[in-house]
Structure 1
Amino acid sequence: MPDRTELGDVASTTPRFAHESEEELARLLDFYGIRWEYEPRSFPLERDAEGRVTESFSPDFYLPDFDLYIELTTLKQSLVTRKNRKVRRLRELYPEVRLKIFYGRDYRSLLFKYGLAK
């Protein structure tokens, strides 16, 4: 698989990441030739009485060759608790969706393993 910079217009092929950790993971996936998509889908979790989506969850990455979503959670604990609630709801509503969560310690361990730790 060609590197994203070999595909031509880098600005149109490189997403705007919400957090530096997402960009680091994207570089690691690129290095190993793993195809990925950034926040390709939002899963509705709650709807109001009129059926409008009031809460949704958009995993950070989708790895199409593995049919796997990845969510990075390197945030402070109060935000992790809220995200965990969303993940539980996603699993209730969409049991067929495969999702792997990388918490801060998991993510740091991954970076260390591949020599990317700062």
Structure 2
Amino acid sequence: MPTKVKPPPAVTFAHPSEAEIARLLDFYGVRWEYEPRQFPLEWAEDGRPTKHFTPDFYLPDFDLYIEITTLKSSLANRKNRKLRRLRELYPDIQIKLLNARDVEALFTKYGRRGEEMNATKAEK
């Protein structure tokens, strides 16, 4: 009797752009994990972490974390500060920051939006 593969649990994304990136990664067969790890960035005097950074995606085949941000400069600046701190504390961690323009450029380059990718996969 064939073994059934259990599908992964449904993922609830914090932002629609994250769902679009996940669909793009799925379409191209890139394995990903959503928010798999928190990196402590600051600690209280008792050693307890007080500030963390949780990248949106981890691509295990590339050992690469990806963080998605919006174009709001206040949010982008805050994430950039956290990314700089993460790189100081964890220099061996590879991470890329994608802003809304980067995300749109990916979809423009690959010629697909999330809905089109799902339709194409369903046709196969």
Shorter-normalised TM-score: what interval? 0.7 to 0.9
- Distance (whole Å) between structure 2 residues aligned to residue 8 and residue 61 of structure 1: 21
Q: CA deviation at 1:112?
A: 1.3
Higher RCO (CA < 8 A, seq sep 6+): 2
- Give the Cα separation in 2 of the matches to 1:116 and 1:59: 24
Q: Which residue of 2 aligns with 1:71?
A: 67
Give every structure 1 segment of 4 or more consecutive aligned residues whose post-TM-superposition deviation is greater than 6 Å. none
In the other structure, the counterpart of 1:116 is: 112
Q: Is the 8 A contact 2:33 2:57 kept in 1?
A: yes
Deviation at 1:13, TM superposition (A): 2.1
Greater C-alpha radius of gyration: 2
Q: Say whether residues 1:90 and 2:121 are aligned partners.
A: no
Partner Cα separation in structure 2 for residue 43 and residue 63 of structure 1 = 16
**1:31 has 2:27 as partner:** yes
- Once the two structures are TM-superposed, the CA of residue 52 in structure 1 deviates from its matched residue by 1.1
Question: Root-mean-square deviation (CA), in Å?
Answer: 1.7
Conserved? CA contact 1:108–1:117, under 8 Å: no
| Residue equivalent to 2:119 | none
Residue 47 (structure 1) aligns with: 43
Provide TM-score, normalisation by structure 1: 0.87
**Structure 2 unmatched ranges of 5 or more:** 115-124
Paired residues, number: 111
Percent identity between the two aligned chains: 61
Q: Distance in 1 between matches of 2:23 and 2:85?
A: 30
Moved more, 86-95 or 76-85: 76-85
Is 1:59 matched with 2:55?
yes
